[in-house]
Amino acid sequence: MAIEVKVPLLPESVSDATVSVWHKKPGDTVSRDENIVDLETDKVMLEVPSPSDGIIKEILKQKGSTVHAQEVLAVIDPAPAGKQAPAASKHPATAATAKPAVTTHVSTPPPLSPSARRAAAANPSIAPSVAVPVSTPVSTPVSTSERPEERVPMTRMRARIAERLLEVAQTTAMLTTFNEINMAAVMDIRQRYREKFEKKYQVRLGFMSFFVRACTEALKRSPIVNASIDGDDIVYHSYYDIGVAVSTDRGLVVPVLRNTDKLTMAQIEANIVESAEKAKVGKLSLEEMQGGTFTITNGGVFGSLVSTPLLNSPQCAILGMHKIQERPVVEHGQIVIRPMMYVALSYDHRLIDGKESVTFLVTIKELLEDPTRLMLEI
């Protein structure tokens, strides 16, 4: 009896999915629990495993199809996993469709490309019959124009990101304040303790754990920045769940670090690495990206010197990190070179006033320029 491969139950708030990639085709052998198709939702990728050993008999939902929970995607013939798809018949009856042993084709040369025609006109010694046309990639539409275009639909995640960003721009009173941080003290700590830290905890000591710790302490001192708006109410959160934005081939995702006030530097770094790895292969669950109270995004890894990050609704604030660059600054009346980073805090002005946003950002600056304060919480 044939076995049906069905769409699994979708995460809460997700109504449908799109067939993204088939890893098997009809006639292919599959093993139980082997991933055979990826489904894309607005927020996560879902793998659909084979329910049994067998051979793919039929695919019912092709790539790009919109599907719902429990819809049948494919049918499997429950043959032994080692059984191969039947080979093509060699019966004489099929001889009419077989290729002759020796075949001679005579055809006219293909039309020359515009560039080939121009070359031939400029140099008559070039024989038109030996000009080779330029092949066109399968994904690029054939066009008589020398300026071809390609139109492809947005992925579900890209469309959802676009929708959310537009919603933020239209429904919040977003404003951004800037400051700069002398990163010399943090860089010195990393340089001195990097090897010991990695040897003990089996994880690299990065900049992000310093920023997560500094933001957590600053949120304690400025509860309004950790709050959100719900209708006409202000919701104050007594916990600190900080999202760390991760760039992937499919778009930006924001896994959330829970209860950052209770995490050590090593735990923060380990969680960031795990989340980033899962994000890049589409393994993050919806639960791992929900419920944050504040977000940090680092455009500096791509070379950005300064930017205005957009809010991650319904949160009311987001911190943007940027590239560390040596610049001349004045210290005690002297011009010196220091590794400086511009930081940006975007916030919803409906909830957070300018004084509170500036105070919050200055707190982060002070904590990172004198990291001892992070340990002493002063």
Largest CA distance in the chain: 96
What is the rounded CA–CA span in Å between residue 144 and residue 167?
40
Q: Residue 74: which of 64, 90, 59, 63 has the closest Cα?
A: 59
Cα dihedral 93, 99, 105, 107 in deg (nearest 10): 80
Of the candidates 77, 261, 349, 370, the residue annotated as catalytic is 349
Assess whether 349 carries a catalytic annotation.
yes
Q: Residue 293: which of 345, 341, 223 has the closest Cα?
A: 223
Q: Are 256 and 237 in contact (CB under 8 A)?
A: no
Of the candidates 77, 241, 353, 370, the residue annotated as catalytic is 353
Residue appearing with tokens 């089996």:
202
Q: Are 294 and 315 in contact (CB under 8 A)?
A: yes
Give whole-number Cα distances, 352 to 177, 297, 308, 317, in Å.
12, 20, 17, 9
Q: Residue 208: which of 260, 165, 253 has the closest Cα?
A: 260
Q: Are 3 and 75 in contact (CB under 8 A)?
A: yes
Q: Bridge-partner residues for 271, per DSSP?
A: none
Assess whether 16 carries a catalytic annotation.
no
Task: List the catalytic residues.
Answer: 349, 353
